[in-house]
Copies of this chain bind each other. A is one copy, B any other.
Amino acid sequence: MKEIRAFEDKLQQLFSDGLVRGSTHLANGQEAVAVGAAAALAPQDVVFCTYRGHHHCLARGMPPEAAFAEILGRLGGCCGGKGGSMHLTDPSLGLLGSYAIVGAHIPIAVGSAWASRVNGDDAVTCCFFGDGTTTIGSFHEALNLAAVWRLPIIFICENNQYSEYTPIAEVVPVVNPAADRASAYGLKSVLVDGNDIEAVRSAVTDARGTAAEGNGPSLIEAVTYRQSGHSRADPGTYKPAAEVAYWNTRDPIKLFETSLDLPTGELEAMNRGVEATIAAALEVALASPEPGPEALLTSVWGDAPT
């Protein structure tokens, strides 16, 4: 979690320094969802995430230098610099992509689970998405299909309370945008504290068991909070101060540290280690060259020389 936090903080700084182009969406405050879920998954499992997906990729084992380099548009990035912040991908880690069209990846994740069903393999697919995503059509189609076909998939709604600049309560007619809709797909309603890493791990472990035993999909709503703005350029001034303050007391890293009850020295050493790792990763990324101009035309087609 700390590594993720340090990574995202560094990114925000790189942005202020004018080094990050386009859009970047940080997951500060949501680390427990990514790390808790990753802890519950098996190596053969498959993960789909969104433009707000750095935390999922890092939690799943993507080297921070590959993530940094990608976000900086360098050859050493996980996609050779062609994808960018919103499209981190590494199939060798079961990371089958980060998608930038809201909801579009949910049916694709269902397809991955369908493949497991057809092949009879034991991979479980895990698909992350936001609270705002529950209002788009592809969410509904995907949930319905996964439920009817009883596919081995875990849907995890990261309810960080906001859909861009809009509080989620203003755009859905139910209190819990995912959990209150589970019954529409014949599923059990599962609501967990997304800032409690253990609670997340336990819920995802259960869901993984359900999927692996052939009992179909689960829909988990992990309630958490987006500490930053929506994207790199958004200071998030529309967020009520009291709300921000409340959620700061519930910071997942602080909560976890408290629960661990480590000696201060050990904690500080850990923090220094993390900072050093991230700083070193950034060095590596910054040293990576831009992709060569020939990269413009490669990887469009599978049957053309790349």
Which residues from chain A sit less than 8 Å from chain B, CB to CB?
135-141, 144-145, 147-148, 170-174, 180-181, 183-187
Contact = CB atoms under 8 A, between A and B. Distances in A.
B184 A171 contact: no
Contact of A147 (B144, B145, B170, B173): B173
A168 to B, nearest CB: 11
Contacts of A170: 148
Nearest to A174: B186
Contacts of A174: 183-186
Contact of A141 (B135, B144, B145, B180): B135
Contacts of A180: 183-184
A173 to B, nearest CB: 4
28 contacts: A135-B141, A135-B144, A135-B145, A136-B137, A136-B140, A137-B138, A137-B141, A139-B140, A140-B140, A144-B171, A144-B172, A144-B173, A148-B170, A148-B171, A148-B172, A148-B173, A173-B185, A173-B186, A173-B187, A174-B183, A174-B184, A174-B185, A174-B186, A180-B183, A180-B184, A183-B183, A183-B184, A184-B184
A102 to B, nearest CB: 12
Contacts of A183: 174, 180, 183-184
A172 B174 CA distance: 22
Ordered nearest first, which 8 A-B pairs have the shortest CB separation?
A: A137-B137, A140-B140, A173-B186, A147-B173, A184-B184, A181-B184, A135-B144, A137-B141
Nearest to A149: B173
A54 B110 CA distance: 37
Contacts of A141: 135-137, 140
Given A137-B141, A173-B187, 14 more contacts: A135-B140, A135-B145, A136-B137, A136-B141, A137-B137, A137-B139, A139-B140, A140-B140, A144-B172, A148-B172, A173-B185, A173-B186, A174-B183, A183-B183
A141 B138 CA distance: 9
Nearest to A103: B137
A163 to B, nearest CB: 12
A144 B148 CA distance: 22
Report which residue of A135, A140, A186 has the largest number of chain B beta carbons within 10 angstroms of its beta carbon: A140
A185 to B, nearest CB: 6
Contacts of A145: 135
